[in-house]
Amino acid sequence: MTRISALQMQTAGTDTAANLARIESAARQAAGGGATLLVTPELGITSYGGGEAIRALAEPADGPIVSRLSEIAHQTGVALVGGFAEKDGDAIYNSAIHTDGTGTPSVYRKSHLYGDYERNLFTPAKPSTCLFSHHGMKLGMLICYDVEFPENVRRLALHGADMILVPTATPMGYSGSFIAEKMIPVRAFENQIFIAYINNIGRDGEFDYAGRSVIAAPDGSALAQAGFSEELLTAEIDPALYDSSRSENTYLRDL
């Protein structure tokens, strides 16, 4: 059994230092509650709504932002997933990093960019299978719109993922609520895995976010849900509790 936390976060816009400080505070709070992993939203460090200013904030995966996240993880004992604008040569990616404060961090780049706003800022990455280990579980990462394509989730599940971590910046509105409340539980159920779908909240630039972060279990139930304010979610992840669900819903085995 592993306890994880997730921060539905109100960013300080493009103030990366303030955003990192907020993540550090949440990591210390999560550690105090016995969590070993903290997931934060899409571009939560460099801001989703910052527009062209995001380009100037983009850093390589071995830059100061990732170094600071690794320091926080090392100091708190809580592994971190954080979203940032990643610069690699002339390309800028919408990326998420996982670091436990030791070794080389895992980097995932968003493959399915949403709308002209994202396409004008970022380079789409090829779909990739980003997996890493955490307390005996195999975890994967996707970012926001990626999870809405069932092929992406299925690919990770077929490669053995027990849980997928999804930083997101889903906007306010019907579709945002539908994705969090309906689609994410179905993705978890149809692949018999856990999914942590963690959103921004409040206003950032021209965007108002839907909140409604959710940690879904393999049987489609919600282990933790957020509303419309900043909130730290915590859930116990125990794959063994869902053995009966997997034995009844043998989708992966029957492909």
Asked if 42 contacts 50 with a C-beta cutoff of 8 angstroms, the reply is: no
List residues bridging with 204 in a β-sheet: 207
Catalytic position from the list 110, 118, 130, 148: 110
Under DSSP, the state recorded for 162 is S
Measured CA to CA, the distance from residue 50 to residue 195 in angstroms comes to: 27
Asked if 196 contacts 163 with a C-beta cutoff of 8 angstroms, the reply is: yes
Measured CA to CA, the distance from residue 231 to residue 248 in angstroms comes to: 34
Two tokens at 154?
């299925």
Two tokens at 39?
């997931």
Catalytic position from the list 59, 118, 144, 148: 144
For this structure, is 144 an active site residue?
Answer: yes
Catalytic position from the list 24, 42, 118, 148: 42
Strands 91-99 and 163-168: unpaired
Dihedral sign for Cα atoms in the order 6, 11, 55, 49: positive
Residue positions counted in the chain: 255
For this structure, is 42 an active site residue?
Answer: yes
Two tokens at 72?
């926080």
For this structure, is 110 an active site residue?
Answer: yes
Which of 235, 219, 37, 233 is closest to 135 using CA atoms? 37
Catalytic residues: 42, 110, 144
